[in-house]
Amino acid sequence: MISIQHVSKTYGHAERTARSVSALVDINLEIGDGERFGIIGMSGAGKSTLVRTINLLERPTEGRIVVDGQDVTDLTGADLRAYRRRVAMIFQNFGLLAQKSVLDNVCFPFLAATGRVTAENRARARELLERVGLAEKAEAYPNQLSGGQQQRVAIARALACDPEVILCDEATSALDPKSTNTILKLLRDISLETGVTLVVITHSMDVVEKICTQVAVLEDGRVVEQGPVERVFAAPAAEATRVLLGKVDWDA
């Protein structure tokens, strides 16, 4: 369980002033184990900042991040590194190391964690490449792959340390529709098979509809609506949600 409790993030000053920028304002969310949770909003709504507070790439100015009953907000050093191994992240631009082979990219989390890559690690990496349908690309390099293939490598790398949570920050926004569907189906199936929790950051309601069970809508750093995907889609209460769904009269 991820519990985001009264989280705010302010840039520019420790306290809110005319020169400071509030990226997040009093965010409260509960994300259950094994859930596929969508966080959606227009550009600048605070989605990426919010997801980065979960793995503490951004420290909240106020509030707490509590995971499985443990307050992780102020973790540092070895405790922070151990926590981050439980929370993998997939990025829009794939984040692969261009000078390393596909196999070495998937092995990188082992290298980062222990300083070495064992034969067992390499065997595990090959299993993961098989899982994402890229076993034959193990010795290739990222620039020899399509965008969809690169994202599948990124997913295999994210799975290397058996994470409890995978954060997907606009993971399909750089892909064509066919590749997007392939990646979404892969993520959904992995979540169902392993029980890993998915937190999906996106500006696309179509992505949320295909993969998520719960959704929170952000606007100007605030949660304006949240609930089961079916209910929010069927009867959106917030104007921001209706805009994202295209349920507004643009000529009004």
b/e code 59-96 from CB counts within 10 Å (16+ = b):
ebbebebbbeeeebbebeeeeeeebbbebbbbbbebbb
Q: What is the pLDDT of residue 95?
A: 84
197-218 residue pLDDT tens: 999 999 888 999 999 999 999 9
Which residues sit opposite 233 in a β-bridge?
A: none
Confidence label for 94 from pLDDT (cuts 50, 70 and 90): confident
Where does residue 61 fall: left (phi above 0), alpha (psi -120 to 50 degrees), or beta otherwise?
Answer: alpha
Q: What is the pLDDT of residue 252?
A: 47
Task: Round to whole Å and give the CA distance between 172 and 181.
Answer: 9
User: Phi and psi of 214, rounded to 5°?
Assistant: -130, 155
Task: Round to whole Å and give the CA distance between 125 and 121.
Answer: 6
Strand order across the beta sheet in which 70-71 lies:
21-31, 2-11, 62-67, 70-71
Q: Residue 9 pLDDT > 80, yes or no?
A: yes
Q: What is the pLDDT of residue 50?
A: 94
Q: What is the mean pLDDT of residues 66-73?
A: 94
Give SS3 for 85.
helix
Nearest to 25, CA basis, from 43, 52, 50, 42: 50
Q: Residue 58 pLDDT > 60, yes or no?
A: yes
pTM value?
0.90
SS in 3 state form for 140-183?
A: CCHHHCCHHHHHHHHHHHHHCCCCCEEEEECCCCCCCHHHHHHH
Q: Which amino acid is at 91?
A: F
Tell me the domains of the chain and their CATH numbers: 2-92+167-245 (3.40.50.300)
